[in-house]
A and B are shown apart, each in its own frame.
Chain A
Amino acid sequence: MSFILEAVQVSKEIDGRQILQNISLGCSSDTRLLIRGKNGSGKSTLLKILAGITEPSSGKVKGSAQKIGYVPEHFPESLRFAVKEYLLLTSSFQGASRASIENELAKYIKLFGLEPFLHTSLKACSKGTRQKVGIIQALLTKPDLLLLDEPLTGLDAESQQVFIQLLKEEQIPIVFTSHEDTLVTNLAKEILQIETGEITLQTRNIVPEKRIRVECRMREELKGLPVSQLHYDGNIAVFTVAGNLSDQVLRELLQKNCSILEVRELK
Chain B
Amino acid sequence: MVWGFFRYQFSSYVRSLTFIPPLTLFIGWIILFYTYSGVPIMSSYAVTCISLYLVMTWVAMSVFSLEGESEKNLLFVQLPSKRDYLWGKWVVCLLIASILGIIAIVYPLLINSFRETPQLVHISQAIYGHLFFAVFGIIVGSFFSNIKMESKKFAWLSAMLVIAISIAQEGIIEKAAIFKWILLPFPPVSQILLHFTDEALFIGKGFWMDAAWVVCYSFFYFLIITRMFYRRG
* A137 near B78: Cβ-Cβ < 8 Å: yes
Interface residues in A63-121 by Cβ distance below 8 A to B read: 68-70, 72, 74-76, 78-81, 89-90, 92-95
Is chain B's interface secondary structure helix, strand, loop, or mixed overall? helix
* B76 near A80: Cβ-Cβ < 8 Å: no
* B4 near A75: Cβ-Cβ < 8 Å: no
Minimum CB–CB distance for B150 against chain A, Å: 12
| Chain B 64-80 interface 0/1 with A at a Cβ cutoff of 8 Å (1 = within) | 00011011011011111
Q: Is B19 an interface residue (CB 8 A)?
A: no
Contact (A55, B233) CB under 8 Å given A74-B70, A75-B70: yes
* A79 near B71: Cβ-Cβ < 8 Å: yes
Q: Is A51 an interface residue (CB 8 A)?
A: yes
* B77 near A70: Cβ-Cβ < 8 Å: yes
Minimum CB–CB distance for A15 against chain B, Å: 11
Report the contact-size class of chain B (Cβ under 8 Å from the partner): 20 to 34
Report the contact-size class of chain A (Cβ under 8 Å from the partner): 20 to 34
Give the distance in Å from the alpha carbon of A123 to the alpha carbon of B222 in the complex.
Answer: 34
B73 partner, pick from A53, A78, A90, beta carbons under 8 A: A53
Give the distance in Å from the alpha carbon of A134 to the alpha carbon of B76 in the complex.
Answer: 14
* B78 near A80: Cβ-Cβ < 8 Å: no
Give the distance in Å from the alpha carbon of A95 to the alpha carbon of B78 in the complex.
Answer: 11
Q: Is B12 an interface residue (CB 8 A)?
A: yes
Residue of B nearest to A90 (CB): B78
* B74 near A70: Cβ-Cβ < 8 Å: yes
A48 partner, pick from B11, B16, B68, B73, beta carbons under 8 A: B73
Give the distance in Å from the alpha carbon of A250 to the alpha carbon of B91 in the complex.
Answer: 59
B78 partner, pick from A75, A79, A93, beta carbons under 8 A: A93
* A78 near B5: Cβ-Cβ < 8 Å: no
Minimum CB–CB distance for B63 against chain A, Å: 13
A80 partner, pick from B2, B16, B73, B79, beta carbons under 8 A: B16
Give the distance in Å from the alpha carbon of A70 to the alpha carbon of B80 in the complex.
Answer: 13
Give the distance in Å from the alpha carbon of A137 to the alpha carbon of B68 in the complex.
Answer: 18
* B233 near A93: Cβ-Cβ < 8 Å: no
Minimum CB–CB distance for A94 against chain B, Å: 7
Residue of B nearest to A70 (CB): B77
* A78 near B233: Cβ-Cβ < 8 Å: no
Q: Is A52 an interface residue (CB 8 A)?
A: yes
| Chain B 60-101 interface 0/1 with A at a Cβ cutoff of 8 Å (1 = within) | 000000011011011011111010100000000000000000
* B80 near A94: Cβ-Cβ < 8 Å: yes
Q: Is A177 an interface residue (CB 8 A)?
A: no
A residues near B80, Cβ cutoff 8 Å: 93-95
Interface residues in B89-119 by Cβ distance below 8 A to A read: none
Contact (A89, B4) CB under 8 Å given A53-B233, A54-B233: yes
B79 partner, pick from A72, A79, A93, beta carbons under 8 A: A93
Q: Is B175 an interface residue (CB 8 A)?
A: no
Q: Which residues of B contact A (CB under 8 A)?
A: 2-5, 7-8, 11-12, 15-16, 67-68, 70-71, 73-74, 76-80, 82, 84, 233
Question: What are 28 pairs between A and B in contact, CB < 8 Å?
Answer: A51-B73, A51-B77, A52-B82, A53-B73, A68-B77, A69-B77, A72-B73, A74-B70, A75-B70, A76-B70, A79-B71, A80-B11, A81-B12, A89-B4, A89-B7, A89-B8, A89-B11, A92-B3, A93-B2, A93-B4, A93-B5, A93-B8, A93-B80, A93-B84, A94-B80, A137-B74, A137-B78, A141-B78
Q: Which residues of A contact B (CB under 8 A)?
A: 48, 51-55, 68-70, 72, 74-76, 78-81, 89-90, 92-95, 134, 137, 141
Q: A51-B73, A137-B78 are known; give 11 further A-B pairs, CB within 8 A.
A: A53-B77, A72-B73, A74-B70, A75-B70, A80-B15, A81-B8, A89-B4, A89-B7, A90-B4, A92-B3, A141-B78
